[in-house]
Amino acid sequence: MTISQAQLRTLNLLDKKPACRVYRSDRADDYSWMHDDTHVRLTATLHRLFSSGYAMLSPDNRNVAVLTEKGRDVVAVRGGC
């Protein structure tokens, strides 16, 4: 899979600190993925990283997104944006 610049930026953010799921209402599917170091919602990009195996839900908290080993490898090889 080719990594887009948006995905690489998101991987670099996750390398610094996990992203958090923020619910906008009581509905289970009404949420956005956010990161403290950006004001941009990461939901679509993060979902692509989940499905590609570069990121995953934290085993301790399903509202936290973290890098997988595969994601860490990309960050190590590609470095910063």
- Supply the DSSP string of 6-51, one letter for each residue: HHHHHHHHHHHS-EEEEESSSSTT-EEEE-TT-SS--HHHHHHHHH
Q: Write the CATH number for 47.
A: 1.10.10
Q: Tokens 């595969």 belong to which residue?
A: 70
* Per-residue pLDDT reduced to its tens digit, 17-67: 999 999 989 888 899 999 999 999 999 999 999 999 999 999 999 999 999
> Does the predicted model carry a pTM greater than 0.85?
yes
Beta strands in the chain (DSSP E): 19-23, 31-34, 55-57, 64-67
Domain count, the chain: 1
Within 8 A by CB and 6+ apart from 77, the residues are none
Range of the domain at 70: 5-78
